[in-house]
Amino acid sequence: MDLLLRAVALCRDGFSNIQGAESALPLSLFLAALAGGAVHCAGMCGPFVLGQVATDASKATQGYGEWRRLAGAALAPYHFGRLTTYTGLGAIAGGSTALFAATPAFAWISSTLLIAGAVFMLLQAFGLATTLSLRLGPSLAKAVGTLSVTHGLVARYALGVVLGFLPCGLIYGALVVAAGSGSPWRGALAMAAFALGTMPALVLVGWGGTLVRRRLRNIGRWAFTPILLANAVLMLALASERLVYTASS
């Protein structure tokens, strides 16, 4: 609730300075991923989570108690692997535009990317970006298949790293926004926040199974569209601030 109030306060203040708006990027992507995790990620990545939980259950021994089951179903190594990939991609995305930071074209490049990110958010909000989610390619599918049947912390971490590259419209939008930050560390921070936002829903799916997965999607729909619309407004506001700041300096 505190995070949401801070976001609302930032909108109310009219994004009075660029630094303040830029500092909201991680918060913005975290909230988008939190809502998207329930509606989108639970459906798209839920099967990978449930598959790992089922593998653990099939190999359970007599001493496999409730606490161990919950800890295992949280799949911390898997989520840390996804966090690693998203953070690395965010650093690359932000670093690619940082190369132009000292040029007059930077404001236009970063603003265009932020506007594109806003468009992605709007498409997702109205359910028009589902066709952007692609199937696994042959190489990715082979790697996922091998890692999915391998039990162990390293294998689970590697599976998370690989699945971090899973094509997804919501991730595309987040990466475009990270690129618009114009900084490797800000891009990394934004995508790390995005990764953290996707985790709660997937942990709940691991704990509760298919029933929770369906209920999360139903519950999350009420927040998904408003949060993504607010994100789109933030991106557009930051893009306009950059252009106005450049024109006046």
Q: What tokens does 216 get?
A: 């999360």
What per-residue confidence (pLDDT) applies to 5? 44
pLDDT(70) > 80: no
Structure token pair of residue 6: 């801070």
State residue 134's pLDDT score: 47
pLDDT of residue 15: 42
The answer to whether residue 165 is domain-embedded is yes
Q: How many domains does the chain have?
A: 1
Cα radius of gyration (the chain)? 19
What pLDDT is attached to residue 68? 59
Q: Is residue 24 part of a domain?
A: yes
- Quickly state the pLDDT bin for 175 (edges 50, 70, 90): very high
| Residue 108 CA, distance from chain mean position | 25
pLDDT given at position 187: 94
Tell me the pTM: 0.76
More confident residue, 98 or 206: 98
More confident residue, 91 or 224: 91
Of 160 and 7, the structure prediction assigns the larger pLDDT to 160
pLDDT of residue 157: 93
HEC sequence for the chain: CHHHHHHHHHHHCCCCCHHHHHHCHHHHHHHHHHHHHHHHHHHHCHHHHHHHHHHHHHCCCCCCCHHHHHHHHCCHHHHHHHHHHHHHHHHHHHHHHHCCCCCCCHHHHHHHHHHHHHHHHHHHHCCCCHHHCCCCCHHHHHHHHHHHCCCCHHHHHHHHHHHCCCCCHHHHHHHHHHHHCCCHHHHHHHHHHHHHHHHHHHHHHHHHCHHHHHHHHHHHHHHHHHHHHHHHHHHHHHHHHHHHHHHHC
Of the ranges 132-141, 181-190, 239-248, the best mean pLDDT one: 181-190
Residue 236 — pLDDT band, cuts 50, 70, 90?
confident
Range of the domain at 163: 20-248
Read off the pLDDT of residues 93-132 as tens digits, 9 standing for 90 and up.
Answer: 999 988 887 787 888 888 888 888 888 888 877 776 544 4
pLDDT classification of 86: cutoffs 50, 70, 90? very high
| Assigned domain for 154 exists | yes
Task: For residue 208, tell me if it sits in a domain.
Answer: yes
Asked, for residue 219, whether it belongs to a domain, the answer is yes
More confident residue, 162 or 44: 162
- Both tokens of 135, joined, read 């199937």
Q: Could you tell me if residue 3 is inside a domain?
A: no
In terms of pLDDT, which residue wins out, 201 or 53? 201
Q: For residue 11, tell me if it sits in a domain.
A: no
On average, the pLDDT of the chain sits at 77
Q: Which of the two residues, 31 and 61, has the higher pLDDT score?
A: 31
